[in-house]
Amino acid sequence: MRIKAKGQRLQLLRTEYVPELKRGRDVMIGSLSKYDASVPEDVKSLLDADELQKLEAYIKERREASTVMMQGFALDTLPSKLRDAMEGLKSLDKVAAMKPERVAEIWSALDDMRAALRKAGLPRPKSE
pLDDT tens string 9-54: 999 999 999 999 889 999 999 999 999 989 999 999 999 999 999 9
* Strand ranges inside the chain, DSSP E: 2-6, 9-18, 23-33
Distance CA 57, CA 20 (A): 35
pLDDT digits (tens, 9 = 90+) for 72-100: 999 999 999 999 999 999 999 999 999 99
Q: How many other CB atoms are there within 10 angstroms of residue 59's CB atom?
A: 19
Q: Does 123 score more than 90 pLDDT?
A: no
pLDDT > 90: percent of the chain: 87
pLDDT-derived band of residue 128, with 50, 70 and 90 as boundaries?
confident
Distance CA 100, CA 38 (A): 38
Are 27 and 14 in contact by the 8 Å Cβ rule? The answer is yes
Q: Is 1 helix (H, G, I), strand (E, B) or coil?
A: coil
pLDDT-derived band of residue 124, with 50, 70 and 90 as boundaries?
confident
